[in-house]
């Protein structure tokens, strides 16, 4: 049962999912605190791609909310997620990707195996430390089509359950024939709330205005359509001139990907503070190719020359409009109604209402 203070906080976060979010959602520390607690520390969060943990012993440090987590591929070939803080005095264990059979603290060399069990304590009698109680906490980790997600709450539903509504559409798009390239991922900080960035990534309504030369000529706003969606996941689509239709998948809280013939380009967002977020971009391609039909995206993945798109990089346009939205969040306004082409934004609102306010989401729709 929730405490009275939690119920009060939830009431302060009330909003109508059929309308835009209030500006307080983009600036109020109370919103961010509730999101950290009920979303980033209790739900599935995208962490990395499987190719980054391809070999036994591979280790990658990630942040899940405010919790440092160490992802690794153990010697049995399984994905494992452990606390990245030494059980001795809380030192960060691993700060760079690497490969090792064990985990050793850089401070006092306490050593753990790849299950998080404490196996070595230098200069201490064998009975001085109760080793089982000093094991590293473990977390839920699952992979979905090469995407690795972590949850700090082991009670969360499986990824298969979470993404069941859009599974057939994603599988039919050929995602499993693509190869992820973690070495091509880039991360930068945007001066906007994480929700501003992820909502912008999932909706196609802004393409004609924000991207008149970079995206609109190839993926027209008027040809975008809704496939299926709910608070758990949404698939939308649209015409990609000269190619098969694209499929855009939105996986709350912070992942959006565009699946086309031969490529899967994605964006993952994570909060830094109320008015800043980390935006990571990456991609998967057929075999070893670094560019698919979205060849221009190769500019921000591989720094290679443009293939399909004209002059400007659309991510710069997205960043500019998102930061402009954030600058306006200092004021107050009556949130406007969403239009039909923004149904995916309504699904995201249902997700926020579900996670923040315990409001049971409406049935899936298509």
Nearest residue to 138 via CA among 94, 82, 93: 82
pTM, two decimals, is 0.91
Please check whether residue 118 is in contact with residue 166, taking contact to mean a CB–CB distance below 8 angstroms: no
Determine the pLDDT at residue 313: 83
Please give the distance of CA 67 from its chain centroid, rounded to a whole number.
Answer: 15
CA-to-CA distance for 26 and 19, rounded, in angstroms?
15
CA-to-CA distance for 25 and 7, rounded, in angstroms?
17
Determine the pLDDT at residue 289: 45
Digits of tens for pLDDT over the chain (366 positions)?
333 333 445 456 889 999 999 999 999 999 999 999 999 999 999 999 999 999 999 999 999 999 999 999 999 999 999 999 999 999 999 999 999 999 999 999 999 999 999 999 999 998 899 999 999 999 999 999 999 999 999 999 999 999 999 999 999 999 999 999 998 899 999 999 999 999 999 999 999 999 999 999 999 999 999 999 999 999 999 999 888 999 999 999 999 999 998 899 999 999 999 999 999 999 999 864 444 444 444 443 433 223 333 334 899 999 999 999 999 999 999 999 999 999 999 999 999 999 999 999 999 987
Q: How far apart, in Å, do the first and last CA atoms of the chain sit? A: 34
Q: What is the overall mean pLDDT for the chain? A: 91
Determine the pLDDT at residue 283: 93
Please check whether residue 301 is in contact with residue 184, taking contact to mean a CB–CB distance below 8 angstroms: yes
Domains and their CATH numbers in the chain: 45-144 (2.102.10.10), 165-357 (3.90.380.10)
């Amino acid at each position: 049962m929730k405490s009275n203070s939690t119920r009060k906080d939830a009431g302060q976060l009330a909003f109508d999912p059929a309308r835009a979010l209030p500006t307080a959602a983009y600036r109020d520390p109370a919103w961010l605190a509730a999101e950290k607690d009920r979303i980033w520390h209790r739900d599935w969060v995208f962490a990395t791609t499987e190719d980054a943990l391809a070999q036994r012993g591979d280790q990658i440090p990630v942040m899940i909310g405010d919790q440092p987590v160490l992802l690794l591929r153990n010697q049995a070939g399984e994905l494992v997620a452990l606390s990245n803080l030494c059980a001795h005095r809380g030192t960060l264990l691993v700060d760079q990707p690497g490969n090792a059979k064990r985990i050793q603290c850089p401070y006092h060399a306490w050593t753990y195996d790849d299950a998080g069990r404490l196996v070595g304590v230098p200069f201490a009698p064998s009975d001085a430390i109760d080793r089982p109680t000093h094991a590293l906490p473990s977390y839920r980790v699952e992979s979905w089509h090469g995407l690795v997600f972590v949850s700090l709450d082991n009670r969360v539903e499986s990824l298969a359950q979470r993404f069941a509504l859009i599974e057939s559409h994603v599988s039919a798009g050929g995602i499993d024939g693509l190869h992820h390239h973690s070495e091509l991922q880039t991360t930068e900080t945007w001066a906007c709330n994480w929700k501003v960035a992820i909502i912008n990534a999932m909706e196609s309504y802004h393409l004609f205005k924000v991207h008149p030369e970079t995206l609109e000529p190839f993926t027209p706003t008027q040809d975008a359509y809704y496939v299926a969606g709910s608070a758990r996941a949404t698939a939308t689509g649209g015409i990609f001139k000269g190619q098969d239709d694209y499929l855009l998948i939105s996986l709350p809280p912070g992942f959006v990907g565009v699946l086309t013939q031969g490529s899967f380009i994605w964006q993952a967002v994570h909060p830094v503070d109320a008015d800043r977020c980390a935006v990571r971009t990456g991609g998967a391609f057929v075999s070893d190719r670094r560019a698919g039909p979205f060849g221009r995206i190769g500019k921000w993945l591989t720094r290679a020359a443009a293939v399909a798109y004209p002059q400007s990089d659309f991510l710069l346009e997205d960043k500019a409009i998102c930061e402009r939205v954030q600058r306006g969040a200092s004021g107050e306004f009556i949130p406007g109604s969403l239009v039909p082409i923004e149904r995916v934004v309504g699904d995201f609102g249902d997700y926020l209402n579900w996670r923040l306010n315990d409001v049971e989401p409406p049935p899936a729709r298509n």
